[in-house]
Amino acid sequence: MEYFDTFDVDGTWIGQAPRAEVHARGYWHRSAHVFLFDGDGRMLLQRRAADKDLYPGRWDYAVGEHLRSGESYRRGAARGLCEELGLFGLSLQPLGALFAEPLTWPGGVDCEFQQAFVTRHDGPVTADGVEVVALRWTDREALRVEAAESPHNFTPWFLRELGRLRVIENWPAVWRLAQSNALS
């Protein structure tokens, strides 16, 4: 059983609880997300496995990772890149500030303190086959059109982050951040 650190709304640690309870009761917990670009300016999307408890089969960030007890956002993002995509040693640049806003769905609420990161990788990427069943690279226009015409293809948190961080509108700047980050 997976346990998450739980927090009050101000970010003060209050204990631990099982994953299912955290989501069912709307306990505050932490996660890290990674927007992964390649040198051609395309973004990697992952398809969630069919047996995921939330939004199975939908397209999502390259990595969305709940943090382990005491783990930093950056370390959780790096662990997710390794576990889900087989990628090691990528330099992660924060994208936007730490964000906290509940997201409700039928039967639960997700109250997360979230930090997004951006990075670049120009080599092979392999889905773990357990949590991630497919990968695809997309460009700005294709993502813009699909998100507008078929939002049900994506997780609601991915769509929220696209809008909140203005990723599609600011795609060239976000890609340059990933690009310069990869070269540092």
pLDDT tens digits along 52-84 = 888 999 999 999 999 999 999 999 999 999 999
pLDDT of residue 184: 43
| CA 23 – CA 12 distance, rounded (Å) | 18
CB 95, CB 165: distance < 8 Å: yes
- Per DSSP bridges, beta strands 63-66 and 93-100 are unpaired
pLDDT the model gives residue 56: 94
Q: Mean pLDDT in the chain?
A: 92
CA-based nearest residue to 44, from 35, 32, 55:
35
What pLDDT sits at residue 127?
Answer: 92
Q: What end-to-end distance do the CA atoms of the chain give, in Å?
A: 39
Per-residue model confidence (pLDDT) at position 181: 56
CA distance 114 to 112: 6
Task: Say which residue the tokens 């640049």 belong to.
Answer: 93
Mean pLDDT, range 1-19, rounded to an integer: 94
Higher pLDDT, 109 or 121: 121
Residue 177 has pLDDT above 80, yes or no: yes
* φ and ψ at residue 145, rounded to 5 degrees: -65, -50
Domains of the chain, first to last: 3-183 (3.90.79.10)
* Confidence class for position 104, pLDDT limits 50, 70, 90: confident
